[in-house]
Amino acid sequence: MVQVLGNKPSVLNRFISEMRNVDVQGDRMRFRRNLERCGELMAYEISKVLHSEEQEVVTPLGTHRSKLPAEALVIATILRAGLPLHQGLLSYFDDAENAVISAYRKPGHGNDFTIEIEYLSSPAMKGKTLILCDSMLATGRSMVLAWEAIVAERGTPNHTHIATVLASEEGLEYCQKHITGPVSFWIGELDPELNSKSYIVPGLGDAGDLAYGSKL
């Protein structure tokens, strides 16, 4: 299942537009907050497809039966650009467990590069639902390697939800090909191409730098 949330007009489109806009994105605090707000809206959309169970709630005047989410969730993110998106998801799924993965582009010749996974901190995945998020899905290689690392070291989740603000068509296709088992994609907006340096076009630039400052 692929859901491109920006295809239906909503406040999400404004948040993403501000992150793309060169006249607005220089405000790091606003950029981070917009990423968080995207995560909050994605959490709401994801919650609609999660398994729920009726539970009885005692009120001051009686009882009420409510349908509440009943899946054990793990929210995982790829450092560092994914942190604000992760926080937005966690604001709604506040009882979820959490995982972090350190991944980076290791330069090669010219514009070539490889993706290196340095660090993984994650609970066990057996019987749980994984929400794996990153702000940008460019080539898709970081997302696939992060998912493979989680599965190899912590087990296979019952279902994987991939959440990203911007994705390229190429990156989406790569993830669909390499992430196996039940998987759903939640994408803010889908862009058509990558440039020679594998950045999304039109995209928004480097989300990590815009959120936290330039790298050395």
pLDDT digits (tens, 9 = 90+) for 31-54: 999 999 999 999 999 999 999 999
Residue ranges of domains in the chain = 2-22+30-47+72-212
What's the confidence (pLDDT) of residue 110?
A: 63
Instruction: Quote the pTM value.
Output: 0.90
Quickly state the pLDDT bin for 197 (edges 50, 70, 90).
Answer: confident
pLDDT digits (tens, 9 = 90+) for 69-123: 889 999 999 888 889 999 999 999 999 999 999 876 666 666 666 777 778 899 9
Query: What is the C-alpha separation between 213 and 174, in angstroms, rounded?
Result: 29
pLDDT given at position 198? 85
* pLDDT reported for residue 102: 84
| Residue 74 amino acid letter | V
Q: Cα torsion at 134, 72, 157, 211 (round to 10°)?
A: 10
Chain segment 118-167, per-residue pLDDT in tens: 788 999 999 999 999 999 999 998 899 999 999 999 999 999 999 999 99
Query: May I ask the CATH class of domain 2-22+30-47+72-212?
Result: alpha beta
pLDDT at 117: 75
**Residue 194 class from Cβ within 10 Å (0-12 exposed, 13-18 middle, 19+ buried)?**
middle
> What does the radius of gyration of the chain's CA atoms come to, in whole angstroms?
18
Using alpha carbons only, what angle is made at residue 148 by residues 145 and 152, rounded to the nearest 5 degrees? 140
